[in-house]
Amino acid sequence: MTAALPDNHVPSPFRTREQRSAERAEKREAVLRAAVRMFNARGFHATSLDDVAASLGISKPTIYHYLGNKEQVLIECVTRGLELLSVAAEEVRAAPGDGLTRLRAFLHRYARLMMDDYCRCVVRTGDESLSPEGAALFRARKRGIDQSLRALIADGVADGSIAPVDVRMAAFMLAGALNWPGRWHDPAGPMSPEAIADALVDLLIRGLAPRA
């Protein structure tokens, strides 16, 4: 965290412009982090910004100094989560391999991400918490990820590495199964996100029927 300092440098209590701007960004980040944790634990409506502020040892107007209003706090949180998922989707789509290999890679990353605070917030946030404009944006970004997922499935069906399934329905099924950990996973629990992702992806690809 600390940058390399010149010889015999006594750390100055005075900050440069960049340091101040970085500090501001860090504080903003801390607010979002505290907020997303509370939203996930207690729900958006049941969490007051006073609570969030108190958990950081500050007062509510300080939050308004960094973020416009309560909805913007939520939007920033879900946007961060959506960004993580989108990046995963893009990277996998650009990778080589047949449909099933790439789908498996995506599912694995998706499952692990679902145990991240911001991604959990994406799954736990319903449209009803947002204003019409916010909800429209939210839906659009989710649709983008869903379409990446469908494209991967369609590729696999086309190249024969995936069984000839209904693409839309398969995408719903996979999303449901992989979103669920966002609701029940306990970070303090015994299973690591990695192990959970392994097990889930394997079950989804192979199914429950015994292999002949």
Partner DNA sequence: TCTAAATATTACTCACCAGTAACTTGCATC
Partner DNA sequence: GATGCAAGTTACTGGTGAGTAATATTTAGA
Long-range contacts of 192-199 (CB under 8 A, 24+ apart): 193/111, 193/112, 193/115, 194/112, 196/111, 196/115, 197/107, 197/108, 197/111, 197/112, 198/108
Looking at the Cβ atoms of 132 and 176, the one nearer to DNA is 132
Residue with tokens 């209590």: 13
| Residue 192 contact among DNA, its own copies, none, beta carbon within 5 to 8 Å by kind | none
| Residue 27 contact among DNA, its own copies, none, beta carbon within 5 to 8 Å by kind | DNA
| Residue 24 contact among DNA, its own copies, none, beta carbon within 5 to 8 Å by kind | DNA
Which 8-state DSSP code applies to residue 48?
Answer: -
Closest CA to 181 of 171, 166, 192: 192
- Start-end of H helices in 125-161: 132-159
Interface residues with DNA (CB under 7 A) are 13-17, 20, 23-24, 27, 47-50, 53, 57-62, 64-66, 69-71
| Residue 179 contact among its own copies, DNA, none, beta carbon within 5 to 8 Å by kind | its own copies
Work out how close the CB of 75 gets to its own copies at its nearest, in angstroms, rounded to a whole number.
17
Looking at the Cβ atoms of 48 and 147, the one nearer to DNA is 48
| Residue 128 contact among DNA, its own copies, none, beta carbon within 5 to 8 Å by kind | its own copies
User: 53: which 2 tokens?
Assistant: 């502020």
Interface residues with its own copies (CB under 8 A) are 41-43, 45-46, 100, 103, 124, 126, 128-129, 153, 156, 160-163, 165-166, 169-170, 172-181, 183-184, 196, 199-200, 203-212
Q: Cβ distance 171 to 150 under 8 Å?
A: yes
